[in-house]
Amino acid sequence: MKTIEDFNFENKKALIRVDFNVPLDADFNVTDTNRIEAAKPTILKVLEDGGSAVLMSHLGRPKGEKNPDLSLKHICAAVSDSIGVTVKFVEDCVGEVATTAVENLKSGEILMVENLRFHNEETSGDVAFAEELSKLGDIYVNDAFGTAHRAHASTTVVARFFPENKCFGYLLAKEIKAIGKVMQTGEKPVTAILGGAKVSSKITIIENILNKVDHLIIGGGMTYTFIKAQGGNVGDSICEDDKMDLALAILRQAKEKGVEVHIPVDVLAADDFSDSANTKVVDVDKIEDGWQGLDAGPRTLENFKEVILKSKTILWNGPVGVFEMESFAKGTIAVGNYIDEATQNGAFSLVGGGDSVAAVKQFGFQEKVSYVSTGGGAMLESLEGKTLPGIAAILGE
């Protein structure tokens, strides 16, 4: 696996695919700089070697049209502030204006090219467009895990024009290693905590990780499909009736593979989907009509705690309750605390997937786990066992 550490960028121009698809406010100020900060070590390595950096990214979904609201010029100031170097900007990513800007770039300088998705050829993976992009650098560096599952021109196709001079940036290399630790090299016992609303959205992940884990903790809305499938009463709780056979099949597969499955035994139920609803703790299989389970109960959390604290490798994908409401956030916070404690005791913990990452950030667990993935869809496809096109392109697969 070639990483940025394998190259010296002295007098070289690095063409870096970053993921700067960041949120902007009404005045075009960047409101969350996490993705910019995540790419900083890769950019600094190039500059410190004595090279220059050409940054390319998408922003939003302009669908092939030049939308001034989605211009990357809006984020140049935030990138300049982060890196400590004034970022130059060019108003296209291909053509003479772009190549001229690159030719004039000196060592130690950074150039941001315009939004890749102003061209339909980016998302269609057009080879000629990728070849045009390839003229903007001597070495191609992919540091955009968030788009590694897309076979776009800038994430995948462009790599073929750098047969020897292509590598992963620090961020993408870390993502690959973190997922590998869970899926291949993780110290046992390995525990996966899967939450979220639907079994259907996690089925491929569950089927793939049953071969890798020792413990599977089921939480969140998925719980009630498993409980109802086993004959329990779930009241008005979210439930995929058409996935109950699937839930039972998962339990059978887990038993055959020797995986211990841990499903909530009690829940915090509410008489309304509201922060101000009446609540009570009930057995998970005895929820009355008119009530719905919205968070893990105290006995459940004790069970989860015991499993998590004896784990050496932990994957957390999905909250165990409706954490967006304060009344139903306690379970997710508790799970975060258990993972924090296990991590302090030497476990490796990986958090990935939109809602669990949002929860980790909301409750301040970023620094308390081993790694927080930056890519939602890419992370999920990795866990499903898929080879991501953006990664395969660098590995030469």
Q: Give Cβ neighbours of residue 142 (< 8 Å, ≥ 6 apart).
A: 16, 17, 148, 155, 159, 166, 167, 168, 169, 172, 390, 393, 394
d(CA 301, CA 332): 9
198 has catalytic annotation: yes
377 has catalytic annotation: yes
160 has catalytic annotation: no
35 has catalytic annotation: yes
Binding residues for ATP: 202, 293, 324, 353-356
Residue 25 tokens, joined: 């406010």
Residue 219 tokens, joined: 């939480």
> Which residues does residue 270 pair with via DSSP β-bridges, in sequence order?
279, 292
8-34 burial code (b ≥16 CB/10 A, e <16): ebeebbbbbbbbbbbebeeeeebeebe
> Which residues does residue 51 pair with via DSSP β-bridges, in sequence order?
none
Answer for the pair 145, 19: CB distance below 8 angstroms, yes or no: yes
Asked if omega into 62 is within 30° of 0 (cis), the reply is no
Binding residues for substrate: 19-21, 35, 58-61, 117, 150
Binding residues: 19-21, 35, 58-61, 117, 150, 202, 293, 324, 353-356
Instruction: Tell me which DSSP letter residue 58 carries.
Output: -
Catalytic residue among 13, 35, 181, 212: 35
Answer for the pair 56, 15: CB distance below 8 angstroms, yes or no: yes
Q: Give Cβ neighbours of residue 163 (< 8 Å, ≥ 6 apart).
A: none
Binding residues for (2R)-3-phosphoglycerate: 35, 117, 150
Residue 71 tokens, joined: 């211009």
Catalytic residue among 135, 177, 305, 354: 354
Catalytic residue among 73, 177, 310, 377: 377
Cα dihedral value 373, 377, 380, 386, nearest 10? -120
List, as one string, the DSSP characters of 331-381. Answer: HHHHHHHHHHHHHHTT-EEEE-SHHHHHHHHHTT-GGGSSEE-S-HHHHHH
> Which residues does residue 56 pair with via DSSP β-bridges, in sequence order?
17
- Nearest C-alpha neighbor of 279 from the set 305, 298, 262, 263: 298
**How many other β-carbons are positioned within 10 Å of the β-carbon of residue 143?**
27
Residue 12 tokens, joined: 């070289």
**How many other β-carbons are positioned within 10 Å of the β-carbon of residue 102?**
17
Residue 342 tokens, joined: 């296990």
Instruction: Tell me which DSSP letter residue 147 carries.
Output: G
Catalytic residue among 198, 286, 305, 310: 198
List residues with catalytic annotation. Answer: 35, 198, 354, 377
